[in-house]
Amino acid sequence: MKKVFFLIILISSSINAQTSLWNAVLETETQISIPFLFEIDSIQSSLYIINGEEKIYVEDFEFRADSLKFTMPVFGSTVSASISKNELAKRRLNKDVTNITGIWDKYPNKADYKMKFSAFQTTWEAWNTKSDRKPVNLNGKWAATFTEDDGSTYPAIAYFKQKGNILEGTFTTNTGDYRYLYGKVYDSKFYLSCFDGAHAFFFTGEYLDGNLYGTFHSGKTWSAQFTAQKDENATLDNPYELTYLNDGFEGVDFSFPEFGTNKNVSLSDKQFNNKAVVIQILGTWCPNCMDETDLYAKLSEEYKSKNVEFVAVAFELSEEMEKNNTAIEKYKEHFNLKYPILFGGAASKKIASEKFPMLNKIMSFPTTIVLDKNHKLVKIHTGFYGPATEEYDNFVENFVLLLDKISTNH
């Protein structure tokens, strides 16, 4: 087990309290500031990224008098920042003001994907302060359409929960969700954001004449416009109907090398004989895959004694298998994952589709393929709606019923 080093030195009287709350910002190349909150408990030596209901525990961090460094779980991205006193602000406000400035490195030791990071200290009292003006009520379900720069569009559903001017929720699409979003409403304007170590999302918008008009910023440069209308009956495509067998194929098969052993694993292997099989197509870089794996790790242990085997096929950031070993090892350790992970190839839906030619296409990471004990195709589920969505509980309930069914069928 990796040892984590902590050195906590209180850097001013303003943060002598056991817990300090920080308002952080990631700056895009288009000068958009993507906000998120994090909390440091100097007594418990813990750091949490806060996305509304979600609190991501960051085990690997150092908080010194002159620096802050932490590595996000699962995805391994890092924040490295320096700490200094803002003398100008101190003279103006007559109190210590601490600056934290640095870099978020999404892919350490790999691609150059860095964003400027900064943070200032706040309090929950200040964060929860209500606006002087009554904010518009955005509670409910909204049918949304996103439009990218090239004119292409895709549908989504927004679910918003509002208390005063605090806003939470998410957007779901045909291939997954944008996880836990957290923000505020000011008069008719609103914003929502999320940082999970892989994604930095920022939604801004305004309510006008019954509609929402806004912009979705993601990462360093990407953005799309969106509109939305209140619609409690809004629906998306059935995720069980998007991926299917091509004509001429009777079933699904696979044969890929396993991380850790380099041995080829195939559906015809003894370990799958007379067993129902759940094939999880994923990437360890994918937040929706993370949410799905958290669920499947538990279900795989529960159903192993019921003759249901889980196996994952990973499409990773490097096309060279050995260069992904560290990411896979961390992934398995984080989720206490007992089922095998095989290497499918580089992170590409095109490549994944080529590796599963019996299917019309792989249009999303993750995709789940369910086979019965005779290895006949039962279901294919595209994407994943995680715990931030209203669909999550219903999916879990129905998926458990499906596992019960395939575990008892002869």
Per-residue pLDDT of 350-378, as tens digits, reads 999 999 999 999 999 999 999 999 999 99
The class (CATH top level) of 255-408 is alpha beta
Q: What's the confidence (pLDDT) of residue 6?
A: 36
Do the domains 140-230 and 255-408 sit in the same CATH topology, yes or no? Answer: no
Instruction: Write down the CATH number for the domain with range 140-230.
Output: 2.40.128.120
Domains in the chain: boundaries: 13-127, 140-230, 255-408
**Which regions of the chain are under pLDDT 70?**
1-17, 86-97, 409-410
pLDDT computed for residue 2 by the predictor: 41
- Which structure tokens are listed for 193? 């954001």
Q: What is the pLDDT of residue 409?
A: 63
pLDDT, residue 97, reads 59
For position 13, what pLDDT does the model report? Answer: 37
For CA atoms 207, 170, 238, 232, the dihedral sign is negative
Task: Name the DSSP letter for residue 95.
Answer: S
CATH topology of domain 13-127: Lipocalin (2.40.128)
- Tell me the torsion sign for CA atoms 372, 344, 268, 261: negative
Classify residue 11 as exposed, middle or buried by CB count within 10 Å of its CB (0-12, 13-18, 19+): buried
pLDDT value at position 314? 98
Residue-level pLDDT at 390: 94
- Report how far residue 104's alpha carbon sits from residue 229's, in angstroms, rounded to the nearest whole number: 35
